[in-house]
Structure 1
Amino acid sequence: MKRSSVPLIYGIYIAIALIGYFLLLSLLDLHQNPAYSVFNMVITGGGIFLAIKKYRDKKLGKFKYQKGFMAGLTAGFVATVIFTAFFAVYTSELNPSFSEELITMWETDWFVNIGMLVFTVALMGFATSLVVTLAIMQLYKPSWNTSEGKKHTY
C-alpha cells in the first residue's frame, strides 16, 4: 500500500464502521436518538488515529506535522462523504419516514427537509474530523522539552 493511499483506505474503513454502527442502531430501533451519535466521534477518532499512525510508519525519514494532519483530515473527510451519501440514500429511499421520526423528537416550528438533515450530518462529520485530527496530532507534535529547547526559556 502506497503512503498516499493510506488516508483513502482508512477513510473507507471508518465509513464502513460508521455505517455498520448506524445499521446496528437501526436494528435495535435506537437510531432516532441523536445521543447515540456521540459514539461516531469515537469511531472516527480511532480510525483517524490508526490512519495517522500507519502514515507515519510508512514515512521514511522525518515525519512532518502538516503531512500527518492532512492524512488524518483526508481520512475523516473521505469517511464523512461516504457516510453522508449512505445517510442520504437511507433517509430518502430505504426509510423515508426516518427523517420525520428524527425531527419530531424536538418540538419546533421549523420546516426541516431532507437536504437540511443531510447537510447537518455532513457538517457534523467534517467538524468532528477536523477537531479529532487536531487533537490526535498533538501526540505526534515534536516536543520542545529537549536540552536545546530549555536553553530558550526563562
Structure 2
Amino acid sequence: MTELYATLLSWAVTLSGYPAPTEPPVVVPKPHEFFVQQACHGQECKVLGWYAGGHNLYVDEALDPENNLFASSVVVHEMVHYLQAVARGDDALRDGAAFRVAPSCTEIVSWERQAYAVQREYIMRYGAYLPIGVSMAHVQCEAEDAPQR
C-alpha cells in the first residue's frame, strides 16, 4: 500500500469511526470501460470507484488522487465501503461474492449515505465544498423491503 493510500485509509477510519483493518485494501486502477461492464452492467455510467467485495477496491485510472481533492475523496468513499465490509466480516469472501447474506435495499442505501457523508466531510476538512452524494437525498426503498408481518 502506497503512503497516499495509507493516508486515505486513515482518513476513512477517522471520519467513519470504524476500526483500522488488520489488512488494508488493495487499490486497483481500472479503465472506465471496466466500470461500465462490471459495476453498471454494460450501461454507460459515471462510476469512478467501486468496491465489489474482497480486498480490492477499484478506481478509475483517469483519477489523480495524489493531486486532486475530488479524486482522493473517491478513494476515501470506497475505503469506507471496505471498512463496512470488514465490520460485517464480508471482506474475506471469495469467488466474486460481496456479501454473506444479500443486503436489503435499506442497508445498501444506509451504507452509501455513510460513505458519501465521510467523503463530504473529508472534502470539507480541506476547506472545500463539493455537492457530493446529493442524489442520495431522495433515494428510498420499495415497499417490498419493509418487514413482513
Between 1 and 2, higher relative CO (CA 8 Å, sep ≥ 6) is seen in 1
When normalised by structure 1's length, the TM-score is 0.32
**Higher share of residues assigned strand:** 2
When normalised by structure 2's length, the TM-score is 0.33
